[in-house]
Structure 1
């Protein structure tokens, strides 16, 4: 391992939060962002078969436990947190069309969306306020967060599955026409991406379970 890779490794290990290649280059002083990206790829390969992996989530890099060893570190019983169908739909719309305003979400869903649904998604850390649309009224717009990518194991939104992938894995039932329209709409806009199926027993209202 060369000196730059060692410096990157040390910086990421000591960092309080994930860092981008540009932030690492600035932190390390004389390092060029291109060289840092090369060092990051080398480090990721180096850690590929170890108990700790170096991963990229939303262009930010951090160390995390290898997925197959997570059970060894789990000391508390997991609590399954389910989203209502409405919250799952809203999350899918934001993921495929971000940044979007609440009015745009409602236009795509065809029903009114309560502020509580967005509050639940922001409390989970998956959605954030991304600014305001520069139109009359300047409505707030929403986008997904790096925690969303991390939770679903995605490097970027480009990794979201499309309609064909969802059908192949059985995650899209014939009755899920609404979800197909959400994904198809995103694909027609160039997104080429998909969403998660809502729990079958979840009610179609804006209440989280």
Structure 2
């Protein structure tokens, strides 16, 4: 292997490892002042011409890029994971445990109004769907979970949703909620134990 081969490899490696396009001077800083960077760049441009990747100069800065005619092969859609807001998680849980349920019923259970965007996020995720209208005055829209909801959470059916005891055991209940549930249970016991004269 000749000195020129070593220089070519050094310039190629510097460009390949670079996070951003580099000027000839920046390349020289990496490979050493004794290397003919411009000569190496010319040879590498010819070497990569017509291949899957090409060495190109843009604004006096050099970098490797995918050959333009292959862009359609490499284009991929990717899923972006997004965290659900607390309101969305609570709304999803209410729908899952009480479906079919109307917006007013969701709000009554949560104790606060929900924004339309919350339901939209759940429908975009494919976890919630409109399930018709309730046969009451005003005919409100009712919501239910989807097969995609079951699939995402690894459930065979809604019967596989965890119960209160399961949630407590997993530490998923807010300690305040657990305390309120306990106080509520004790209150029920007191009320049921009161003797009436």
TM-score by length of 1: 0.47
- Return the structure number with greater relative CO, CA threshold 8 A, min gap 6: 1
TM-score by length of 2: 0.50
Which of 1 and 2 has greater Rg? 2
Instruction: Give the structure with the higher percent helix.
Output: 2
